[in-house]
Chains A and B, each alone.
Chain A
């Protein structure tokens, strides 16, 4: 091959294969991580930092290309575009307007954002790359403070293998539910706007409350979410369908992997509200029922065996020869048509990427981290969370033209004595001014 243009390429991982087939302006499959800094962002320094970080994490320095059967990723020699935030979060990333990159870096006053098309990676690895940008940015911005460079000893050790293929089992069979999920009712926000409401929650108080129920933070917040959906949306509909909450799971906790590609699966909780509400005499009892159900469902579904079953079922689909041999354009049509049906099996997604660890002095320059995922026409609200220091940010991204679920969620936490601060992008500017 010619020496000058020996552009590296790689196949998409098993999860990533599906994203470009179904993605578009309505289904962007983009997630965002933001860091709110303590100082105004310097765009010039940020651009330098991104370029340096990209050299270290070259798995992000790619563009997506058409193949006859699948898309693939190829090395991108262009410079990434860094610009001021001027659009709604998690919007579709049009590579032709982004120097072919599949992630987008924007800034606004003290905030730095990275929007990532899921084809590149998942939330966990997205955080790793974003953290590298933030570290490098701070080192360039304050060279005297970080002259010793605390991170020099930290070795960057990763690969881009398809860990799904390495860890799945041909023998395991998935056990997907056949019941369709309750779909959130209500008018959509017009003109493609996306509402983002962040609840910045005090971790100490939240943990105290979780301990009362012997639940984890994710379990507790999932229960509050189901309760809020029930009270603010479900109850008006007379629906008998279950509220189904999709919880993405980081597979690196279950299988050994150093990949920077996608490596996640999910569990789906199926809350039968008619059953959970029938035995409850009061509001507190209803919540008690919900949280007991959530804990039990987590216990039964969040096991290595169950997770391996779901993962293996999905991998088998992607490795099936007959599916592989369908031309890409035909695959797109089939996937888009089948997704019209598949999407009806989830009410809402709640992705908690957990603690974002920042080392040493770097913490002094960062106020908070935010995580956002793109809502869709069927899953009109998506929830996400991350924790930094003693604050957890719980985010609602929504295309639903009312914020009753968000309000109910907020008031529930406040009534439990948990301190919550609200930030929002003002699209549904109602509860966002409360503190």
Chain B
């Protein structure tokens, strides 16, 4: 014999499929209970958005290489969308845009800043994610400029932190940033 008789099944994928099915079943049950009991309060939609958020994070963690900067970018986008959705379902008072997103961006920028300083030798692998976080950080400034946000204080702080992040990054790792752009955007 030159081949093994038993081929092992991919248990990991089977487990993922089981959990995914359970999650979908829970989401459907929650929606039905919500509609039957308290149709005026959209709590099932909020719970289901939480389930979707968890799955985005789980699938990303399984299929992508473990890169802290990649996780920071994913969490920044996913949590931002989640808070906007929750705000929208609760009557859209604007707290997601004026408070949540700026706070998330401050945390993301500070995390990336710490990563850049602490592990600058590995910076090349973080560069492109940091670039996207910096681009995403323009959002509060746009929201303030367009007067969509009524309370701009946190937005201004977020823009300041991201500007500081950008300056320090350029000072420390301009060459790496340039190299990352060359690799990622080659034609």
Contacts and interface: CB of A to CB of B under 8 A. Distances in A.
Given A1-B179, A11-B186, A67-B183, A196 B7 contact: no
Given A68-B185, A108-B4, A111-B2, A1 B124 contact: yes
Given A1-B176, A67-B185, A86 B8 contact: yes
A67 B186 contact: yes
A72 interface: yes
Interface stretch (B45-53, B60-68, B72-80, B144-152): B60-68
A5 B116 CA distance: 13
Contacts of B124: 1-2, 5, 7
Given A1-B175, A85-B4, A109-B2, A65 B183 contact: yes
Interface residues of B, number: 27
B170 to A, nearest CB: 14
B184 interface: yes
A69 interface: yes
B35 interface: no
B129 to A, nearest CB: 11
A69 B7 contact: no
B183 A72 contact: yes
Contacts of B184: 66-68
B15 interface: no
Max count, chain B CB within 10 A of own CB: residue among A72, A96, A370: A96
A2 B173 contact: yes
A2 B2 contact: no
Contacts of B183: 9, 65, 67, 72, 74
B121 interface: yes
A321 B125 CA distance: 28
A425 interface: yes
A66 B128 CA distance: 11
A36 interface: yes
B7 A72 contact: no
B186 A70 contact: yes
B1 A109 contact: yes
Contacts of B8: 86-87
Contacts of A87: 7-8
A257 interface: no
A423 B2 contact: yes
Interface string A35-72: 01000000000000000000000000001011111101
A357 interface: no
Interface residues of A, number: 41
Given A2-B121, A68-B184, A96 B4 contact: no
A335 interface: no
Interface in B111-166: 120-125
B65 A424 contact: no
B93 interface: no
A148 interface: no
Contact of A5 (B1, B2, B122): B122
A425 B183 CA distance: 42
A111 B3 CA distance: 8
Interface string A321-335: 100110000000000
A253 B121 CA distance: 44
A425 B6 CA distance: 10
A96 B63 contact: yes
A96 B7 contact: no
A100 interface: yes
B187 interface: yes
Nearest to B64: A96
A193 B2 contact: no
Contacts of B173: 2
A193 B186 contact: no
Contacts of B187: 69-70, 321, 324-325
A196 B2 CA distance: 11
Nearest to B61: A96
B3 to A, nearest CB: 4
Contacts of A66: 184
A321 B187 CA distance: 8
Contacts of A196: 3
A426 interface: yes
B1 to A, nearest CB: 7
A88 interface: yes
A5 B185 contact: no
A189 B175 CA distance: 52
A152 interface: no
Given A5-B124, A68-B185, A86 B4 contact: yes
Contacts of A67: 183-186
21 contacts: A2-B122, A2-B124, A2-B173, A5-B125, A63-B65, A69-B187, A70-B187, A72-B186, A86-B4, A86-B7, A87-B8, A88-B7, A96-B65, A108-B2, A110-B2, A193-B7, A324-B187, A325-B187, A370-B2, A423-B2, A424-B3
Interface of A: 1-5, 7, 9, 11, 34, 36, 63, 65-70, 72, 74, 84-88, 95-96, 100, 108-111, 193, 196, 321, 324-325, 370, 423-426
